[in-house]
Structure 1
Amino acid sequence: MDPITHVVIGAGIYALSGGDLSLAQPTFLGCVAGSLIPDIDIVAKVRNDYYYLKHHRGSSHSLGGIIFLSIIVTAATALLYGGIDFLPVFAWAFAGAFMHVFLDIMNSYGAQILWPLSRKKYSFSLLGIFDVIVLVLGVAAILFGRGMMGVKAAIVAAFCLYILALGIMRALAWRRISSYFKGRVEQSSIKVLPSPAGFLVWDFIIMSQRHSTVGKVHLAGKKVVIVSRLRRLQDKEKEKFMDNRAAYFFREFTPFYHVRVKKNKDFTKVVYTDLRYRLKNGFKHHATAVFNSSGALVECIFHPFSIKRRVRF
């Protein structure tokens, strides 16, 4: 999620507890700082986008990571305020960090919550990077969270019902897509993702034996739109191009990638494309591995956010 939403939700859960939303309260500062601290991995962006995206939502978003970072927040708060009660500040810092990770695993990018035991990014694919309803509920918690118990319960219930509604919408989208492609693809190959267009429109990716199909489904009109249909390399052909830095990175970066080969007499270019995030005329993230005529790897290039951007690694 975006930083503003994380801060608003952090302040909102503190308000729901009845606490005073004042920087004079170390517990409040701890909660707000905790709601931002998992994104400390953004410092990797100073090096380059490849390094940042490779490590984003890794160790700092794991359960062990947020415990460690909550201790850091508590220690920093103690230095700022002088003598504080360690446990309440730590608990609120952890609550803020936990909500940060919870929201992040709700979207399709996911987070490595079990790092270092597993580098898998867990994701429920329900929320986009920005969700206006989540933000509005966070603001409501800040404004009315210290009111009557019934108001607090209504805000919490509204959030839970919204997440449940998204889950139902996603299931309906999957069912509609499955019906549309019935008999043509394995049902287990259909992946439904949140769309920037809202909860009545969902994106989907289908990884079949021959093609990678990317599209969207409109629940209101029960309309399925195929945006892109890409021919997949056969396994034997694909295996030749999966033993290089670009391939290793993309296998870890996304579970949904497409491999395309361009050949001429001097070079072979292998382009790896993340199918989760689309731009107007293509996809957001790519990587390229370049091989010479002898089959030796010449260079690897990451194209973050646009095929026109080039970061060698």
Structure 2
Amino acid sequence: MDTGTHVVMGLSLGGLATIDPTIANDPLLPTSIMIATIIGSQAPDFDTILKLRNNAVYIRNHRGITHSLPAILLWPLLITGGIITFTPETNWPLVLLWSFIAVFLHVFVDIFNAYGTQALRPISNKWIALGVINIFDPFIFFSHLAAFSLWAFGTPTGPTFLVLYIVLILYYTWRIYEKKKVVQHAKKLHSDATHVFVSPSIRWNQWHLVIRTPELLFVAESRNNEIEYFEQYSFDPIPDIPVINTARKDSNLDAFLSFSPTYRWEVEDKDDMIEVRFIDLRYRSKGHYPFVAIVQLDENLNIISSYTGWVFSEETLQKKLNVITE
């Protein structure tokens, strides 16, 4: 989820904790737990600092080790240790419990969007992305704001946020059901489909689709239970040829391939260089595919430049590659 949603979730968890009389009746504990849930709701995303290095490092590692099984246990220990350093008299087992809930919830809800996490590391490095909830979901965010408003007007804290989380559980259940209908519809139209990649949009009735068959990739959209097709490409496995093999040694393309499950590739001769381009098909927007990886090589297959990340125009991409275009 986006940072703002994780923040409001941390606040709501701090409020939910007061449903426990031990917490509600303690003069200091609610504050300690609120701090723990706010920090815990943000901690797994501290790896965003990797953007300062480069996109390849960020793409390969974001939502990786910081969202892993060991991290889910380590973050609460660090958070609780920091809190009891300043307030040693606090009830540290309850602080530990609620910081764990905050960290776990952060990782858990991230699984439901199309980006996903490597939540099962070190057991498995597979990306778990259920494609049910958009990165920013207005219903989730504004339902929290509604609960905060009721809280401000004097409704009981614990019960208010308990109702909020019951509503959210029902909402997630409904979204899972809606995604299942989209996948079933796509498979009904393509009985030979081997994969159906679904990315939710900000609208409830709109889903981005990539349907893979043994021979073709269909880029489509499901809107109001009707599928509209945009493009189709041949499904070509990555070939074992020198130019591709050399390009795959580049860190940018390697990071892209570690993350993207469905893409098309192309090799193009451009004057005195060869360009290898991989394009993720999940994020089509206004006829453009913004998530790409590019490797440019000279005639001797030496890498000249490369890039991976989100770009929304060819001009911007070429500037990032330090190529002067006409």
1:291 corresponds to 2:294 = no
Is 1:164 aligned with 2:167? Answer: no
Deviation at 1:299, TM superposition (A): 3.6
Which position in structure 2 is the counterpart of 1:64?
A: 70
- Kindly report which structure 2 residues correspond to 1:154-303, keeping only aligned pairs within 5 A, or say none: 154-182=163-191, 186-196=192-202, 198-219=203-224, 222-233=225-236, 236=239, 241-242=244-245, 243-245=248-250, 246-264=252-270, 266-303=272-309
State whether residues 211 and 218 of structure 2, in contact with CA within 8 Å, keep that contact through their aligned partners in structure 1.
yes
Aligned length in residues: 306
How far did residue 175 of structure 1 move? 2.2
Q: CA deviation at 1:74?
A: 1.6
Question: In structure 1, the residue corresponding to 2:222 is in which secondary structure?
Answer: strand
Deviates more, 1:52-61 or 1:83-92: 83-92
Cα distance per residue 1:53-91 (max 9 Å; x no partner) = 221101111121122122221222223334433222121
Q: Which residue of 1 aligns with 2:122?
A: 116
Offset of residue 150 of structure 1 = 7.0
Q: How far apart are 1:178 and its partner, in Å?
A: 2.4
Q: Structure 2: how far apart are the matches of 1:218 and 1:279?
A: 15
Contact persistence 2:201–2:207 (CA under 8 A): yes
Unaligned runs of 5+ in 1: none
Q: Distance in 1 between matches of 2:180 and 2:294?
A: 35
Query: Which of 88, 96, 108 is equivalent to 1:90?
Result: 96
What are the superposed Cα offsets for residues 74-126 of structure 1, whole Å, 9 maximum, x if unpaired? 22222333443322212111111111111111101001112233221112111
Give SS of 1:130's match: coil
Cα distance, 1:106–1:311 mapped onto 2, change above 3 Å: farther
Q: Identity over aligned residues, as a percent?
A: 23
TM-score (norm 1): 0.86
The farther-off stretch of 12-21 and 99-108 is 12-21
Gap change, CA 1:154 and 1:162, over 3 Å in 2: same
The answer as to whether partners of 2:272 and 2:299 remain within 8 angstroms in 1 is yes
